[in-house]
Structure 1
Amino acid sequence: MFPSFQISPLSTTLDADLQLKIDTKTKPPGSLGALEQLAFQLGRIQGSLVPNVDSAKMLVFAADHGVVDQGISLFPQEVTPQMVMNFLMGGAAVSVFCQQHQVPLGVVDVGVKGDIAEHVLLSSRKVAHGSQDFSQMAAMTREQVAQAMHAGIEEVDQAIAEGCNLLMFGEMGIGNTCVSSCMMSALLGESGQVTAGRGTGLDDAGVSHKATVIQASLKRAQAETGKSIQQWDAETLAMQVGGFEILAMAGAMLQSASRNTAFVVDGFICSVALLFAHKVNPFVKDYAVFAHQSNEQAHKKLLAYLQAEPILSLDLRLGEGSGAILAYPLIKSACVFMANMASFESAGVSNQ
Structure 2
Amino acid sequence: MRLLDETIQRIERLDEGMMGKARERVDSLIKPPNSLGRLEEIAIQLAGITRELYPAIDQKAIITMAADHGVYEEGISGNPQAITLAQTLLFEKGYPGVCAISRVSGAKVLAVDIGVKGEIPDDAGVIKRKIKNGTDNMAKGPAMTREEAVQSIEVGIEMVNQEAKKGINLLGTGEMGIGNTTPSTAILSVLGNCDPLEITGRGAGVGEGGIEHKAAVIRKAIALNKPNPTDGIDVLAKIGGLEIGGMAGVMLGAAANRIPVVVDGYISTVAALIAASIEPKAKAYFIASHASLEPGARLANELLGIEPMLNMDMCLGEGSGAALAFPILDAAVSMMTHMATFAEVGMEI
Using the size of structure 2 for normalisation, the TM-score is 0.95
**Which has the higher mean CA deviation after the structures are superposed, 327-336 or 192-201?**
192-201
Is the 8 Å Cα contact of residues 175 and 318 (structure 2) preserved in structure 1? Answer: yes
**Which has the higher mean CA deviation after the structures are superposed, 170-179 or 298-307?**
298-307
Alignment partner, residue 121 of structure 2: 117
**Which has the higher mean CA deviation after the structures are superposed, 264-273 or 179-188?**
179-188
Structure 1 gap ranges (5+): 223-227
Alignment of 1:114-153 (within 5 A): 114-119=118-123, 121-153=125-157
Q: Aligned pair 1:254/2:252, yes or no?
A: yes
Count, aligned residues: 345
Report the identity percentage: 37
1:24, distance to aligned residue in structure 2 (A): 1.2
Residue 273 of structure 1 aligns with an amino acid whose one-letter code is: A
Q: Aligned pair 1:16/2:20, yes or no?
A: yes
Residue 265 of structure 1 aligns with an amino acid whose one-letter code is: V
1:234, distance to aligned residue in structure 2 (A): 2.5
CA distance in 1, matches of 2:199, 2:190: 10
Alignment partner, residue 225 of structure 1: none
CA distance in 2, matches of 1:46, 1:198: 38
* Cα distance, 1:75–1:256 mapped onto 2, change above 3 Å: same
1:255, distance to aligned residue in structure 2 (A): 1.3
Alignment of 1:197-276 (within 5 A): 197-202=201-206, 206-222=210-226, 229-230=228-229, 233-276=231-274
Once the two structures are superposed, residues 46-100 of structure 1 have per-residue CA deviations (whole angstroms, 9 ceiling, x without a partner) of 1111122111111100000000111111211100011111222111111111223
Alignment partner, residue 286 of structure 2: 288
* Cα distance, 1:210–1:163 mapped onto 2, change above 3 Å: same
1:204, distance to aligned residue in structure 2 (A): 10
* Of 293, 304, 317, the match for 2:315: 317
CA distance in 1, matches of 2:28, 2:208: 52
* Of 65, 78, 81, the match for 1:77: 81
Is the 8 Å Cα contact of residues 69 and 134 (structure 2) preserved in structure 1? Answer: yes
Residue 331 of structure 1 aligns with an amino acid whose one-letter code is: L
**Which has the higher mean CA deviation after the structures are superposed, 237-246 or 112-121?**
112-121
1:214, distance to aligned residue in structure 2 (A): 0.6
CA distance in 1, matches of 2:175, 2:269: 11
1:120, distance to aligned residue in structure 2 (A): 6.9
* Of 140, 152, 161, the match for 1:157: 161
Using the size of structure 1 for normalisation, the TM-score is 0.94
Once the two structures are superposed, residues 18-49 of structure 1 have per-residue CA deviations (whole angstroms, 9 ceiling, x without a partner) of 11100111111111110000000001111111
1:138, distance to aligned residue in structure 2 (A): 0.9
Is the 8 Å Cα contact of residues 178 and 204 (structure 2) preserved in structure 1? Answer: no
Q: Aligned pair 1:94/2:98, yes or no?
A: yes
Residue 182 of structure 1 aligns with an amino acid whose one-letter code is: A
Alignment partner, residue 325 of structure 2: 327
Residue 324 of structure 2 aligns with an amino acid whose one-letter code is: L
